[in-house]
Structure 1
Amino acid sequence: MLGWYFSVCRQKEDGTQPADPHAEQGECLATWQARIRGLDWIEELIELGQCKPMHGYGYPYRTTAQARFVLPQILKGPPHAREHFTAASYEIVVGKPHDGPLVHKDRILACPPDDWLIIQIFDES
C-alpha cells in the first residue's frame, strides 16, 4: 500500500519550545492514514516556515510545528486522509485498529495554540 501514517501529539514534557529529535510524545491528538500525496501539507508548512523538520533519527520522519498551524487543518479533516484504515495482505495488525482517522476533538480544543507539537510520519509503501 502506498501512503503515509500520521500521528500528531503534544510533547510529553514542555511544549513551549520546538521539539528536538529526543522529545518524547505526550498526549495524542490525531492519527490517520494518508494517500500518496499525504506529505504535501507538511512540505507546504515547511516552505512557509511554520513547521520544522527534526534532524536526527530519519525514520520515522518527525517534524515539529505550533498547534496554531496544524490543528485547524486537522479539525476540518486530516489532510489527504483515507476514509478507512487499510492494511496490505502481508501486514500484521495487532488488535483492532480504528476504522478511519482518529481525531480527539476535545484534546485539540484544549491544546494551547502556542504549543509545539510532534508530527510523526511513517512511510507505508
Structure 2
Amino acid sequence: MDIALWIAAGLLAAVALGGGISKTFVPKEKLAALPGGGWTADVSAGFLKTLGVLELLAAAGLILPAALDIAPVLVPVTAVCWVLLMVGAMITHGRRGESAFVVLNLIYLALAAFIAWGRFGPESFTG
C-alpha cells in the first residue's frame, strides 16, 4: 500500500509540476490556443499565474514533506487541497462542454483522494 501511495503521489506531483510550469511561465495566449486551454481566456493573467504557483506548491507538497521527513502531514493536506482544485477544474471544463477534461480531472481527483485517505489513515507517516 505504501508503494502504491508513493506512486500515486509521484504521478500527481508530475501532473501538478507540468501544469504549474505551463500556467506560471507560458503566456496566456499560448495556453488559450492549446486543447482544453480555452478557459484561460476567461481569467486574468494574475489568476492564471497564481494557479500555476499553487500547482507548483502542490507538486512539492505531495513529495517533499515525506521525503525530507519535515511535517509529513502536509502530504495528505496537499492531496485534500488538490481534490478541491479538481472540483473547480471539473466545474470549469463541464461548463465549457469539455467532457474529456472533466473525466481527466476526475481521475486526478481520485488519485488525490486515495493519497489523502491512505496518508491520513492506514499508511500515515505519523504511525
| Same structural fold, with TM-score higher than 0.5 when normalized by the shorter chain | no
Name the structure with the higher strand share.
1
Higher helix share: 2
Higher relative contact order (CA closer than 8 Å, sequence separation 6+):
1
Instruction: Using structure 2 for the length normalisation, give the TM-score.
Output: 0.31
TM-score (norm 1): 0.31
* Structure with max Cα Rg: 2
